[in-house]
Amino acid sequence: MIKHKILILGAGKIGTTVAGLLARTGDYEAFIGDVNPPHTLPQIKNNPIQFIPMDIKKADAIKNYIKSNQIQGVVSCLPFNLTIEVAKIASECGIDYFDPTEDVATTNAVYELSKNSKGSFAPQCGLAPGFISIAANSLMEGFEDVDNVKMRVGALTQNTSNSLNYAFTWSVDGVVNEYIHPCVVIENGERKLKPALGDLETIIVENHPYEAFHTSGGVGSLVESYAGKVKNMDYKTMRYQGHCTKMSFILNDLKLREKPELAKQILSKVIPHAEDDKVVVYVSVQGNKNGNFSEKTYTNTLYPVTVDDNTYTAIQMTTAAGICTVIDLVMHEKRLTGLIKQEQISLPEFLGNRFGSYYAKGIRV
């Protein structure tokens, strides 16, 4: 059987997880490129992942490698500020492109590149943005009109003891980025911008209390798709209670949002990294259905999992499973083409995929 050849740029936790999940199916030949080799690389019997030293600053060398090795798709698992360079390479090579970025400006640039690209372009196909939009869009089906769409995701440790009630389970760059940029919402039918860390609320998911507040990027393209069609729609990040007020003091009162690199340096020294994580997903849709004011909810709490003797954290698997599902629908199943927005994928279609089935293990709808 001919394998789909795919290049993952970025040899961090998400990149290596994507490579491992794809390669173990036998349907993909995975290449992973970065300046330095990964700390660990999943060992796939009979279909080893190939690491290639690559520097995103040397785009011509990467393009030459793609062409000479007949690479059909590329995934950006690099920091968000480098993602657009990967999209440019994909566009110029005429191959498929995927990323999980939450950065709005980067995604807008990817949209522009997709207009003149031969390959399919699927930005924002991780967890949030990504799966959260698929779940929300599917819950809205059957409503005559929609009043409120609430999307909430928490990437958390299973336990916490520090004063910020938080530990890093994913990129420091990504956390600071989503905490400082404006957040797109629909309010009273209109597209608006809200400040990050705002509109703090308490939310109870599966009998556990959390706080939730606006962060940027998680809503993906859903606001653009539904502006004027729903009354209110927003995305918020969930954390353990007490986190938001302290982060607001650090970033807003101390004005470190104006110096994001300094904020990252400080937070990296005082907030630990942790592997014992969980990902909490909550989606609520309220509106009129069959003549009654109704609500549909989706909740899911996901934990680390071991696959082929490789243990992956919840944030690794939720993000990588989202990316791999979309890759599979585009490259293997040939169901999606062109510029792909997450709301084009139904929740049953996602959960029925061999990669999306990771989410189905804890599904409660």
Contact residues for 355 (Cβ-Cβ < 8 A; gap 6+): 21, 320, 321, 324, 325, 328
Q: Residue 103's pLDDT is what? A: 86
Q: Residue 365's pLDDT is what? A: 31
Q: Residue 310's pLDDT is what? A: 86
pTM of the full predicted structure? 0.93
Judge whether 267 and 172 are in contact, CB under 8 Å.
yes
Interatomic CA distance for residues 33 and 68, integer angstroms = 15
**Low-confidence residues of the chain, pLDDT below 50?**
362-365
Q: Residue 40's pLDDT is what? A: 86
Judge whether 215 and 179 are in contact, CB under 8 Å.
yes
Q: Residue 286's pLDDT is what? A: 98
Q: Residue 244's pLDDT is what? A: 97
| Widest distance between CA atoms in the chain | 60
User: Where are the CATH 3.40.50.720 domain residues in the chain?
Assistant: 4-127+314-360
Domain 131-309 fold: Dihydrodipicolinate Reductase; domain 2 (3.30.360)
Residues 38, 44, 47, CA angle at the centre, nearest 5°?
A: 110
* pLDDT digit string, tens, across residues 275-290: 999 999 999 999 999 9
Interatomic CA distance for residues 145 and 231, integer angstroms = 9
Interatomic CA distance for residues 287 and 302, integer angstroms = 28
User: Where are the CATH 3.30.360.10 domain residues in the chain?
Assistant: 131-309
From 155, 158, 130, select the one nearest 321 (Cα to Cα): 130
Interatomic CA distance for residues 92 and 223, integer angstroms = 29
Interatomic CA distance for residues 75 and 326, integer angstroms = 11
Domain 4-127+314-360 fold: Rossmann fold (3.40.50)
Q: Residue 1's pLDDT is what? A: 61
From 318, 323, 326, 310, select the one nearest 363 (Cα to Cα): 318
